[in-house]
Chains A and B, each alone.
Chain A
Amino acid sequence: MSENFRSSETKFLDKTNRISFKYNGKKYYGYKGDTLASALLSNGVHLIGRSFKYHRPRGIMTCGSEEPNAIVQIGGSGSFTEPNVRATEQEIYEGLEASSQNCWPSVEFDVGGINNFISPVIPAGFYYKTFMWPKKLWYSLYEPAIRMSAGLGKSPTQPDPELYDHNHLHCDVLVVGGGISGILAASISADNGNNTVLIDDKNSLGGSTIFQDDENFKIDDEIPSVWLNNQIKNIKNKKNLIIKHRTSLAAYHSYNYLLARENLADHKSLDERSNKLRQRLWKIRAKKVILATGAIERPLIFNNNDRPGVMLANSVKKYIDYFGVRCGNKNVIFTNNDSAYETAISLNKKGINVTIVDIRNNSSSILVKNAKNAGIKIYWNHTVVDTKGYRRIKSIQIMKMSDDGTNVIGSKINLVCDNLSISGGWTPMVHLFTQSGGKLKFRDSDQVFLPNTAMSDQISIGSCNGDFELDDVIKNTNSECKNFLSASVTDYDSLTISCPKQKESKNIWLLPNDKPLGKTKPFLDFQNDSTAKDIKLAMREGFKSIEHVKRYTTTGMGTDQGKLANMHALGIISETAGVKMGSLGTTTFRPPYTPLTFGTIVGRNVGTFFDIIRKTPIHEWHENHKAKFENVGQWKRAWYYPKNNESMHQAVQRESKAARESAGILDASTLGKIDIKGTDASEFLNRVYTNAWSKLAIGKCRYGLMLNEDGMVYDDGVTTRLEENHYVMTTTTGGAANVLSKLEDYLQTEWPELDVWLTSVTDHYATASICGPNSKNILKKLFPKLEFNDENFPHMSFKNAELNGINCRIMRISFTGEHSYEINIESKYGKSLWENCIEAGKEFNITPYGTETMHLLRAEKGFIIVGQDTDGTMTPIDLQMEWIISKKKYDFIGKRSLYRSDTMREDRKHLVGLLTDNPREILEEGAQIVQDEKKQPIEMLGHVTSSYFSPNLNKSIALAVVKNGKKLKGQKLLVPMKDKTINVTVSDFVFFDSKNERLNA
């Protein structure tokens, strides 16, 4: 049995709840509350993965979201697998399976490790420089090879079966971070009557203070862990406060709009999870935000600082004090500050061997005094120059530093160890602050960037605001929250706090070595394997901007986004370039703060809910009659109704013939319908349509064309005058909402004097359109009381009628060129109306047809479809529709634009008909049209906009827009396709019944 590294009791784990899990196929045990990292460390496992570029063995370095190395694949194969999970954040559960990434065949022996030995020939920018030539090798050799070795984890191969949800949250105050300052802020806020939300990414509150048991720290005579524990108990009972655990803030946008991911299931066993939400994305709108995101410990940059067993000092403290796990039996602590001495004292108290290497000359801190008194050996003014041990650190070599810190002197001292805890000071987590648009300032004394000016109503408190001492944290948190929340008194006004103060400090971004930089590997970005020498190389090669250096060296571009080492990269750049860090600035912090799965981002907008679906009242009938549906905007429209294995072409040909030979019926309910009332309704229509409306008699219908102010066709449709001051306008299906909004715009802003009221009635009516020579006979059967002769009910007129006592509006209008009627009825009767029509039409072989046949029939007649034959660059003149432009009207929307020099150009593209020389050949919609294939560069004259095989003409027909098309009638043009060129002749665009005789047939 392997050694147990769980060395002390801890109240933070549930020792009665032992949990088994698998790592790289081997079974291990831990306790409820353990992270995968703490459980593995308790089993003595340090080696977790291989680095990205050099495949160097790497181990657990931290205990939180900043972890660069210990990222693992969770789950087995298939859909329940997730790559790039930080072992330091993943809680263990019964049955958890995790494995190492970026190694083959195993983490112990990885073939890619060869990269480590050839690393001198793969410096920064290696890929950019090497694979440039020969160019043709890129697709065949370089890219496939790079792709195979690139990437860290493996993507799932099947759809994600887990459930994710979204929810909105509105609060007065959002507190981000559940450490001591966040807890105090939440408490003050809630006490002040604010509806407050506190979010924290861990499973319990308290940050690092909750395991601060050092006797040198006191809050009201209690040690901080005890005092804080009471506070936590306290706030849990506050009415105004919601606490969300395991919730990490992903993004902080302007206007205090924040996104947070709440993890609901990842700590539960698979059995407990089934059919429950895995994660929820909270869309938070907070009136005020308090950031208490804390600080992250900095590593130190020296040769071979990346071996398994090299960890951050405060993380080592958390593992021993919180999880009860020692990270080694022989520990060396390497530091430039006093805080790491807390770790040393903690380890020493638990009887664990520890030695300290400090780059400073001395420190007068009480912590240092205590360490000395405890008999801990301290090497002052020394630095680590090398580490040994491939899969786990075995020893380190230290040397004395010169007085100016730029060099090492004397001889090497070898220290045997199995853990090296490093501490280079602290970096405030200002990521979220800058995401929200905040600007930073630089504090020279301890070389940190701090929040300066914020864009929204927010403050930063605690160590993310640069307060690192317990008394500063508490006092400043209290006073800043009071100020921010206008609170007069708080529970924390008269606390007595004692704590040691940080004394002598010394910061060296890149520690000196006895070897030249080129012979060493001082890692900055552990995940992406970029070293200090890569940064210097980039600068030698002329990269000056930090954003460029970042991209060239990939520093800070891993899944951890360089949380640990970005500061050192900046430090080295500023030193090398001789620029002050404050003026150098930082790279841009972008959301998400920690990676989000796609599942969380899309929530329930998958499958059925991927997009909105609109259905007509007759939809069910279409479904029952095997219609194929077409998406038109959000609508599902019946496309065609195949019978007995018909292909689409066969069905459409049959439907088209039937509609012209006897009768066809179309569900036209999707057309936009706007009810227009008011004494100025006619004047309003005069202004929005190109043609004149004042003289339209009551009971008559008219086709109208609507332009934009730029003169381009915007929408079209038939409008009916129901009464003197009452019209109903129809719009295109796709244009309905936009047309209404545009009309409202003109009424509200340009013409507020007009007495006109608009109301959308699109969904109020169902519309069945019956066309064909027998349409009249069918209508007669349905409405026996109505007279259908051309005098009483001529083309382009309207009648009110009743069908079984229910009111209908019947318009005799036609989009097919056939004699036809549109029946509108309240939509709850829509399906029943349709069934009645089908029943009445049975003896005439009434044929339901879909949008495809509708398109074909109108193309035979040369009727345009706005959006298909027009694209926002066609004027009515281009469409050869001069007849619809009123010459008498003084003004209408777009009128003036029809007389601009550009719209009057003779060689604009015009709508024309095209006939293929081979009448069986059907053109492709969108195909380009040319005159001379040989001309270079080839001149594109236009393109095909609509194309069908017409069963009624027994030949192929097409509409197209062609440059100067009006003058090209009868001319031969070419449509070059991939494998052939099609010969076409420009024709009139009305192919069928050009005298409109069928309308009255």
Chain B
Amino acid sequence: MFIITCPFCGERDQSEFSAGGEAHIVRPKQPTELSDDEWADFLFMRKNIKGVQFERWNHAHGCRKWFNVIRDTSNDKIHAVYKMGEKPPSD
């Protein structure tokens, strides 16, 4: 059980959040123009990294806002949290 710092509400227990998988996968604006393979790439392909990963989390039992988290999946260490639409911190 880790602690996540919601960019709005601050530090909360993990139990208040739900995970939303890999971050920065943008839904294509024109899906109908895509080939099966291109669409499948958007739909199914995820990196599932052992190590530092960019993820989406939702403060489901708090402010209900979605945001991004940079987490090391090998030890659950959270390196950064940033809002939707923001760029990941560079360091």
Show the binding face of A for B, using Cβ within 8 Å: 253-255, 257, 285, 437, 455, 709-710, 741, 744-745, 748-750, 752, 890-891, 895-897, 899-901
Contacts of B56 in A (CB 8 A): 749
Known: A257-B1, A744-B64. A900 touches B40 (CB 8 A): yes
Known: A741-B18, A896-B31. A255 touches B76 (CB 8 A): yes
Considering the chains assembled together, what is the distance between the CA atoms of A899 and B39 in angstroms?
10
Known: A257-B1, A285-B13, A890-B32. A709 touches B43 (CB 8 A): yes
- Looking across the interface, which residue of chain A has its beta carbon closest to that of B3? A255
Partner of B75, one of A254, A744, A896: A254
Known: A745-B66, A749-B66. A710 touches B84 (CB 8 A): no
Considering the chains assembled together, what is the distance between the CA atoms of A679 and B66 in angstroms?
23
Partner of A741, one of B39, B40, B58, B84: B58
What's the least CB distance linking A218 to chain B, in Å? 45
Contacts of A437 in B (CB 8 A): 75
Contacts A254-B2, A752-B85 given; 10 further ones with Cβ under 8 A? A455-B75, A741-B18, A745-B66, A748-B66, A748-B84, A891-B32, A895-B32, A897-B43, A900-B36, A901-B36
12 CB < 8 A contacts A-B: A254-B76, A257-B2, A285-B13, A455-B77, A709-B43, A741-B18, A741-B60, A745-B20, A748-B65, A750-B27, A895-B32, A901-B36
Contacts of B13 in A (CB 8 A): 285
- Looking across the interface, which residue of chain A has its beta carbon closest to that of B77? A455
Interface string of B1-45 (1 = CB under 8 A from A): 111000000000100001010000011001110101001100100
Considering the chains assembled together, what is the distance between the CA atoms of A748 and B85 in angstroms?
9
Considering the chains assembled together, what is the distance between the CA atoms of A285 and B77 in angstroms?
16
Known: A253-B1, A745-B58. A895 touches B65 (CB 8 A): no
Partner of B2, one of A255, A896, A899: A255
Considering the chains assembled together, what is the distance between the CA atoms of A900 and B34 in angstroms?
11
Interface string of B38-66 (1 = CB under 8 A from A): 01100100000000000010101000111
Considering the chains assembled together, what is the distance between the CA atoms of A92 and B24 in angstroms?
62
- Looking across the interface, which residue of chain B has its beta carbon closest to that of A893? B27
Considering the chains assembled together, what is the distance between the CA atoms of A437 and B72 in angstroms?
14
Closest 9 CB pairs of A and B: A896-B31, A255-B2, A750-B27, A748-B66, A257-B1, A255-B3, A896-B39, A254-B76, A749-B84
Considering the chains assembled together, what is the distance between the CA atoms of A748 and B40 in angstroms?
23
Known: A752-B85, A901-B36. A744 touches B66 (CB 8 A): yes
Interface residues on B, range: 20 to 34
Which of A253, A455, A749 has most B Cβ within 10 Å? A749
Considering the chains assembled together, what is the distance between the CA atoms of A752 and B66 in angstroms?
12
- Looking across the interface, which residue of chain A has its beta carbon closest to that of B64? A744
Contacts of B76 in A (CB 8 A): 254-255
Considering the chains assembled together, what is the distance between the CA atoms of A891 and B27 in angstroms?
12
Considering the chains assembled together, what is the distance between the CA atoms of A901 and B66 in angstroms?
33
- Looking across the interface, which residue of chain A has its beta carbon closest to that of B23? A749
Contacts of A900 in B (CB 8 A): 36, 39-40
What's the least CB distance linking A174 to chain B, in Å? 15
Contacts of A890 in B (CB 8 A): 32
- Looking across the interface, which residue of chain A has its beta carbon closest to that of B34? A896
What's the least CB distance linking B36 to chain A, in Å? 6
What's the least CB distance linking B18 to chain A, in Å? 7
Contact across chains for B3 and A285 when beta carbons are under 8 A apart: yes
- Looking across the interface, which residue of chain B has its beta carbon closest to that of A708? B43
Contacts of B58 in A (CB 8 A): 741, 745
Considering the chains assembled together, what is the distance between the CA atoms of A745 and B13 in angstroms?
21
Contact across chains for A255 and B1 when beta carbons are under 8 A apart: yes
Contacts of A257 in B (CB 8 A): 1-2
Contacts of B75 in A (CB 8 A): 254, 437, 455
- Looking across the interface, which residue of chain A has its beta carbon closest to that of B11? A285
Considering the chains assembled together, what is the distance between the CA atoms of A437 and B56 in angstroms?
25
Contacts of B34 in A (CB 8 A): 896
Contact across chains for A741 and B64 when beta carbons are under 8 A apart: yes
What's the least CB distance linking A974 to chain B, in Å? 36
Contact across chains for A897 and B1 when beta carbons are under 8 A apart: no
- Looking across the interface, which residue of chain B has its beta carbon closest to that of A257? B1
What's the least CB distance linking B71 to chain A, in Å? 12
- Looking across the interface, which residue of chain B has its beta carbon closest to that of A904? B36
Contacts of A899 in B (CB 8 A): 32
Contacts of A752 in B (CB 8 A): 84-85
Known: A745-B58, A748-B65. A710 touches B43 (CB 8 A): yes
What's the least CB distance linking B41 to chain A, in Å? 12
- Looking across the interface, which residue of chain B has its beta carbon closest to that of A901? B36
- Looking across the interface, which residue of chain A has its beta carbon closest to that of B31? A896
Contacts of A254 in B (CB 8 A): 1-2, 75-76
Contacts of A709 in B (CB 8 A): 27, 43
Considering the chains assembled together, what is the distance between the CA atoms of A749 and B13 in angstroms?
23
What's the least CB distance linking A753 to chain B, in Å? 11
What's the least CB distance linking B49 to chain A, in Å? 18
Contacts of B43 in A (CB 8 A): 709-710, 897
What's the least CB distance linking A457 to chain B, in Å? 12
What's the least CB distance linking A470 to chain B, in Å? 36
- Looking across the interface, which residue of chain A has its beta carbon closest to that of B18? A741
Contacts of B77 in A (CB 8 A): 455
What's the least CB distance linking A407 to chain B, in Å? 48
Considering the chains assembled together, what is the distance between the CA atoms of A745 and B39 in angstroms?
20
- Looking across the interface, which residue of chain A has its beta carbon closest to that of B20? A745
Contacts of B31 in A (CB 8 A): 891, 895-896
Considering the chains assembled together, what is the distance between the CA atoms of A748 and B43 in angstroms?
19
Considering the chains assembled together, what is the distance between the CA atoms of A899 and B26 in angstroms?
20
Contacts of B26 in A (CB 8 A): 750
Considering the chains assembled together, what is the distance between the CA atoms of A744 and B77 in angstroms?
27
Considering the chains assembled together, what is the distance between the CA atoms of A486 and B31 in angstroms?
57
Contacts of B36 in A (CB 8 A): 900-901
- Looking across the interface, which residue of chain B has its beta carbon closest to that of A752? B85
Considering the chains assembled together, what is the distance between the CA atoms of A257 and B12 in angstroms?
13
Considering the chains assembled together, what is the distance between the CA atoms of A865 and B40 in angstroms?
28
What's the least CB distance linking A1 to chain B, in Å? 56
- Looking across the interface, which residue of chain B has its beta carbon closest to that of A747? B66
Considering the chains assembled together, what is the distance between the CA atoms of A752 and B83 in angstroms?
13
Considering the chains assembled together, what is the distance between the CA atoms of A896 and B38 in angstroms?
11
- Looking across the interface, which residue of chain A has its beta carbon closest to that of B85? A752
What's the least CB distance linking B65 to chain A, in Å? 7
What's the least CB distance linking A389 to chain B, in Å? 51
- Looking across the interface, which residue of chain A has its beta carbon closest to that of B29? A891
Considering the chains assembled together, what is the distance between the CA atoms of A916 and B36 in angstroms?
41
Contacts of A897 in B (CB 8 A): 39, 43
Contacts of A455 in B (CB 8 A): 75, 77
What's the least CB distance linking A688 to chain B, in Å? 13
Which of B26, B64, B85 has most A Cβ within 10 Å? B64
Which of B3, B20, B31, B34 has most A Cβ within 10 Å? B31
Considering the chains assembled together, what is the distance between the CA atoms of A323 and B88 in angstroms?
62
Contact across chains for A896 and B32 when beta carbons are under 8 A apart: yes
Contacts of B84 in A (CB 8 A): 748-749, 752
